[in-house]
Structure 1
Amino acid sequence: MEPEELKTGEYLKGIVQNLPEGPGIYQYLNAEGTIIYVGKAKNLKRRVYSYFSKEHEPGKTRVLVSKIADIRYIVVNTEEDALLLENNLIKKYKPRYNVLLKDDKTYPSICVQNEYFPRVFKTRKVIRNGSSYYGPYSHVPSMYALLDLIKHLYPLRTCHLSLTPENIRSGKFNVCLEYHIKNCAGPCIGLQSHDEYMKNIGEIKEILKGNTQEISRTLLQQMQELATDLKFEEAHILKKKYELVESYRAKSEVVSSVLHNIDVFSIEEDGEKSAFINYLHITNGAINQAFTFEYKKKLNETKEELLSLGIIEMRERYKSLSHEIIIPFDLEMELTDVIFTIPQRGDKKKLLDLSLLNVKQYKADRMKQSEKLNPEQRSMRLMKEIQQELHLEKPPLHIECFDNSNIQGTDAVAACVVFKKAKPSKNDYRKYNIKTVVGADDYASMKEVVKRRYQRAIEEETALPDLVITDGGKGQMESVRQALEEIGVNIPIAGLAKDRKHRTSELLFGFPPQTIGLKQGTPLFRLLEQIQDEVHRFAITFHRDKRSKRQVASALDEIKGIGEKTKSLLLKEFKSVKRIREASEAELTAVIGEAKTKVINDYFNAPTIGK
């Protein structure tokens, strides 16, 4: 160890030994003084000591520890304070070894503008000027439905005029079309008072918060009072508004309205790279806020660590004061006056399932977007899926699949197709005539071909596949296993079986073979189906060609004086025996000469053959 490293090690050891045993935040800095990691701890001393007390496995954690040149820490009162501070510091400094919040998709919100006569409109920009923002709305139709409800309930201005009391009194404005079609009550010329307008804005804010139940109750009460006073026209106007609110509530309410002011969180991982977290806020049984975001992993963080960070981020961002949080699994985190619930059934389970549905859809959308930009990413994902399903040591970037074809043992052939990175590699396809097997014995034919292929691969020192697939079930797999064992090659073997309708039905793996459950219609299932269809097509095509050539050539084989070279010339020129028979003497002479033309004509014109 270098003297400088020894000095640094002693310096860090001194800091660790003097750390307090309470909750707090620790920051690791590199030699340049840059913060490279921020973490939280219930017990600062124990947590930081764990980084230096053992030899870490090769990977990012070991690299992180090797780069630590200094440690800073902040003592806090509670674990909740530590969670909040950790989240804020990660966002502020974006340390290299902390998770990265990928928040690049801007969902629209509804803004109630901070002005004398506030406007209500959709926006994607949040400007801190005293305006109120509601959302964001990941499901844009829901936002438009809400804006439409507000438009029909309350007359609001949509103009950009500076409606100050002075400007209105001076009479510098005129009403516009919106006033004439009764969408605006004319505050610009003093036809609607500021108090009446702001009363409407107050009710609009309650609707945007999700408190439609209270608005509905108020409208019903006012309607009944007007009806009692025999003011039926005014009561009818309120009745229309009441029906609009009730209609909106019926569409927006996903669970019982008893469930109020609840946060819901779920998480879905994408291997070792990313995690996606969905957040729903429930008000009176309806989703009032919905947002999904991505964390890029840096140190193989657990789902529990990432979800804890996500909960703090979302609650802080949307100023949530919910006293209940629904989560999919237990978390070692405590928040003041908050109950964590892991529902097993009922309306709360329905909300959790809805959150999971949202996060899975978001993950699928992101994967589609990234695969469009990088098609090879899709191939690697499929390879990793096969690796996980079959518990292989590495992704099967090179797959070979075999199939046999014969009719009652005649013209027996086999074929091998090759897929590299989930794409057909047609230059590597191979056809085989069965040499050692007599009759229809598919298992023996498979064993012969596999043995021939990989024996040659060993002799020529060409690359062996990462996975061998047979077009067939357990018997074919056993034939491949025996062939590989006899030549001393160890390659994982899988089998693809078809159902009675000749459709890909199941994947087999292992000895004894076990059925691997594959969901039909998934990209992985379609890849395996493509491999099976391709090897079957290739084998059948080769078999037909061989059978056709044998049948076509058989008529010429009986002609004495016509050898292989002459037959090849004739078939190349005329394509079939029928055309050779119908060709004129001049056409035949041009290809094979007069002597051989006479031999052919004598044969075809002989009485036993017929014309």
Structure 2
Amino acid sequence: MLAVAFDGKVFSSNLPSLPGVYRMLNAVGEVIYVGKAIDLKKRVSSYFQKSNLSPRIQLMVSQIAGIETTVTRSEAEALLLENNLIKSLAPRYNILFRDDKSYPYLMLSQHTYPRLAFYRGALDNQHQYFGPFPNTGVVRESIHLLQKVFRLRTCEDSVFNHRTRPCLLYQIKRCSGPCVHLISPEEYHKDTKSASLFLQGKQNEVLKDIAEKMQAASDRMDYEQAAMFRDQMQALRKIQEKQFVESGKALDADVIACASLQDGIERFCVNLVMIRGGRHLGDKSFFPQNVQGYKIADVLEAFIAQHYLNRHVPSLIIIGEKIRLDILQPLLSEQAGRKITIVLNPVGERRVWLNMATENARLALQQMLLRQASQEERLQALQQALNLPNLSRIECFDISHTMGEATVASCVVYDNFSLRNNEYRRYNITDIAPGDDYGAMRQVLLRRYSKIAEEEGKLPDLILIDGGKGQVSAAQEILIELGLNDIPFVGVAKGEGRKPGLEQLIFPSTEKPLKLPADHAGLHLIQQIRDEAHRFAIQGHRARRNKSRTLSSLEQIAGIGAKRRQSLLGRFGGLKGVLSASIEELQQAEGISRALAEKIYRELH
């Protein structure tokens, strides 16, 4: 515990006049602000000597109970460290951009027959990556288009290596059948190269190459092949018309715009438009936290520093506000290993892109405020209906199983007017009687809140239980045992015919359930959270059940051990493939004799 009395003037007078990072801490040791400085002594002392500080800074300074500093070699290095600390510590007075998920990429693997695939994670030098893309939908759409034009494989290696006949994608002309050698490695490589050039924005080279192939096929009177190349060219031209930016130049650029609106407090939205290889991949909106008292230029600087930290940086960044280029541009160039240009005052078509991004940011901010207003209305209505003093964070639990098989419990979190899917959790329920929903509820609540009872997490303002009186009683037992019985909790029992709007709210302390009107805003919020918990539980249950059934159905066949089971699943791409295989196909798997193949077929059918 830090002492509250803190003399900032004395502390700052002993600091060195060197670049570095400072961390301001409150009385309980929490980091409330992280900053960088080219001169630590001068920068930190300014907080305790100036009288014209903004209200936000005055409030922050009043809470300082200690300061920690780290000296760096340069201001650029300080900026890097500052943003690493902001991302990891999330101080309450720094601008924060919540973007925990890595961006999706499109990958071309380095195989004899390269695979076209969706990829998310750390990049390496083994494969070829294209992106990043703003969302998964754009990646999957791109894969679909490339399949249609270049017919590249998308199947996993475990399936590809064990195919004995072409799959459905070959039949519908979305794959050239490399798994059964219906195309030579040389011809397949040409298609892979064309796809790579297309993704790099060199679409004219691709069209020229296909045109030459079409002419050659026509000259040798192979009109079917020529027609295929013609269809490829038409498909590519349609894509080109739809997806390429006006200039048609194969450039990589990010266009970043920021908009702000006042609704009692000032709110900001940053819109990021991604252009890769001349293709407009779409945009993504970000809503920063802790922005009161900041200007648009401050928000943009924070976004650029945080967003591109340890992430791919395009060669060109276009923004419309004056920011400090002397630090950001060299830092991004050093990180990327090539020159990065930040354009502050674009003209021509680049100005059009920026204006579009600004309008997108403004519209996204308006939509967010409308959604939040609706959520605030729902939350307030529920708070009044349940007579709760405070209501912000809600946690909801649901149990899913099939006749007691593969029981999974879900916990979804609603906080600050939205569902927080990064805080969702699933729990595999074990050591209970099959179908014992009450035991499952006791187990999940015990596992969820035993750590929180030891002060290792946030307590909700309300717990929702999907179920009736029995589930509520089970929940009450555990919360009393953990000393958390002061947390309000409610059971949500389905109404007659399980129809929405007929739900009853079950309380542990009263016999009579509460039935809210079907159009009640608070009931709509309960339904939203309950349905999300149900969806999340079912999704987890199905995955666990399918995995269990895949293994158990083969495990029950005498003579099928782990090695043969793995051989069968690998060759046929899973249990579904094994079920559809004939006796002759089963016999071709490693370690499977004719007699055993007949036995497997008999047992599975």
User: What TM-score, normalized to structure 1?
Assistant: 0.51
How many equivalent residue pairs? 364
Q: 1:264 aligns with which of 255, 260, 272?
A: 255
1:107–1:18 Cα change, 3 Å: closer
- The answer to which of 155-164 and 266-275 deviates more is 155-164
Letter in 2 for 1:68: I
**Aligned counterpart, 1:157:** 153
> How many Å separate the matches in 2 of 1:145 and 1:53?
57
**Aligned counterpart, 1:253:** 244
Letter in 2 for 1:90: I
Letter in 2 for 1:276: C
Map 1:96-115 to 2 at 5 A. 96-103=92-99, 109=104, 111-112=106-107
Secondary structure of 2:294's counterpart equals: coil
Q: How far is the alpha carbon of 1:341 from its aligned partner?
A: 2.5
> How many Å separate the matches in 1 of 2:212 and 2:69?
58
Is the 1:281–1:288 contact (alpha carbons within 8 Å) kept by the matching residues of 2? yes
**Aligned counterpart, 2:274:** 281
1:291-319 superposed Cα distances (whole Å, 9 cap, x missing partner): 22110125522211110111233334650
Is the 1:308–1:333 contact (alpha carbons within 8 Å) kept by the matching residues of 2? no
1:214-250 superposed Cα distances (whole Å, 9 cap, x missing partner): 4334434554566677766544433332232222112
**Aligned counterpart, 2:349:** 347
> How many Å separate the matches in 1 of 2:99 and 2:43?
29
> How many Å separate the matches in 2 of 1:56 and 1:190?
76
Letter in 2 for 1:374: E
Q: How far is the alpha carbon of 1:204 from its aligned partner?
A: 3.0
Is the 1:213–1:284 contact (alpha carbons within 8 Å) kept by the matching residues of 2? no
Secondary structure of 1:100's counterpart equals: coil
**Aligned counterpart, 1:134:** 131
1:175–1:243 Cα change, 3 Å: closer
**Max Rg structure:** 1
Secondary structure of 2:287's counterpart equals: strand
**Aligned counterpart, 2:207:** 216
1:304 aligns with 2:306: no
1:575-596 superposed Cα distances (whole Å, 9 cap, x missing partner): xxxxxxxxxxxxxxxxxxxxxx
**Aligned counterpart, 1:28:** 24
Letter in 2 for 1:327: I
Secondary structure of 1:296's counterpart equals: coil
Letter in 2 for 1:49: S
Is the 1:155–1:184 contact (alpha carbons within 8 Å) kept by the matching residues of 2? yes
> How many Å separate the matches in 1 of 2:236 and 2:58?
59
> How many Å separate the matches in 2 of 1:317 and 1:365?
31
Letter in 1 for 2:341: I
> How many Å separate the matches in 1 of 2:17 and 2:210?
58
Q: 1:91 aligns with which of 84, 87, 91?
A: 87
> How many Å separate the matches in 2 of 1:377 and 1:275?
23
Q: How far is the alpha carbon of 1:267 from its aligned partner?
A: 0.3
Letter in 2 for 1:300: G
**Aligned counterpart, 1:241:** 232
1:352-395 superposed Cα distances (whole Å, 9 cap, x missing partner): 112112212221221222122123999xxxxxxxxxxxxxxxxx
Q: 1:326 aligns with which of 318, 327, 331?
A: 318
Q: 1:181 aligns with which of 151, 155, 172?
A: 172
Letter in 2 for 1:100: L
1:47–1:333 Cα change, 3 Å: farther
1:47 aligns with 2:39: no
Is the 2:210–2:229 contact (alpha carbons within 8 Å) kept by the matching residues of 1? yes
State the structure with bigger RCO (CA 8 A, min sep 6), 1 or 2.
2
Letter in 1 for 2:89: Y
> How many Å separate the matches in 2 of 1:65 and 1:208?
51
> How many Å separate the matches in 2 of 1:211 and 1:309?
34
User: What TM-score, normalized to structure 2?
Assistant: 0.52
Taking only aligned residues, the RMSD between alpha carbons, in angstroms, comes to 3.8
> How many Å separate the matches in 2 of 1:220 and 1:83?
51
Report % sequence identity.
27
Is the 1:257–1:284 contact (alpha carbons within 8 Å) kept by the matching residues of 2? no
Q: How far is the alpha carbon of 1:320 from its aligned partner?
A: 1.5
1:526-551 superposed Cα distances (whole Å, 9 cap, x missing partner): xxxxxxxxxxxxxxxxxxxxxxxxxx
Q: 1:372 aligns with which of 364, 369, 374?
A: 374
> How many Å separate the matches in 2 of 1:111 and 1:304?
33
Q: How far is the alpha carbon of 1:94 from its aligned partner?
A: 1.1
Secondary structure of 1:268's counterpart equals: strand
Is the 1:27–1:36 contact (alpha carbons within 8 Å) kept by the matching residues of 2? yes
1:109–1:301 Cα change, 3 Å: same
> How many Å separate the matches in 2 of 1:275 and 1:82?
26
1:38-57 superposed Cα distances (whole Å, 9 cap, x missing partner): 11234333322211112466
- The answer to which of 30-39 and 74-83 deviates more is 74-83
Is the 1:111–1:120 contact (alpha carbons within 8 Å) kept by the matching residues of 2? yes
Is the 1:256–1:284 contact (alpha carbons within 8 Å) kept by the matching residues of 2? no
**Aligned counterpart, 2:15:** 19
**Aligned counterpart, 2:58:** 62
1:22–1:195 Cα change, 3 Å: farther
Is the 2:95–2:302 contact (alpha carbons within 8 Å) kept by the matching residues of 1? no
Secondary structure of 1:102's counterpart equals: coil
Letter in 2 for 1:297: N
> How many Å separate the matches in 2 of 1:245 and 1:344?
30
Letter in 2 for 1:275: F
Is the 1:107–1:138 contact (alpha carbons within 8 Å) kept by the matching residues of 2? no
Gaps of 5+ in 1: 379-611
Secondary structure of 2:362's counterpart equals: helix
> How many Å separate the matches in 1 of 2:83 and 2:291?
15
Is the 1:268–1:275 contact (alpha carbons within 8 Å) kept by the matching residues of 2? yes
Secondary structure of 1:264's counterpart equals: strand
1:259–1:44 Cα change, 3 Å: farther
1:245–1:38 Cα change, 3 Å: same
> How many Å separate the matches in 2 of 1:114 and 1:281?
23
**Aligned counterpart, 2:540:** none
- The answer to which of 112-121 and 275-284 deviates more is 112-121
1:194–1:314 Cα change, 3 Å: farther
Letter in 1 for 2:67: I
> How many Å separate the matches in 1 of 2:115 and 2:44?
52
Q: How far is the alpha carbon of 1:115 from its aligned partner?
A: 7.8
Q: 1:361 aligns with which of 360, 363, 373?
A: 363
**Aligned counterpart, 1:538:** none
Is the 1:255–1:286 contact (alpha carbons within 8 Å) kept by the matching residues of 2? no
Gaps of 5+ in 2: 331-338, 381-605
Secondary structure of 1:292's counterpart equals: strand
Q: How far is the alpha carbon of 1:112 from its aligned partner?
A: 2.9
Letter in 1 for 2:325: M
Letter in 2 for 1:325: I
Letter in 1 for 2:41: K
Map 1:192-211 to 2 at 5 A. 192-193=183-184, 196-197=187-188, 199-211=190-202
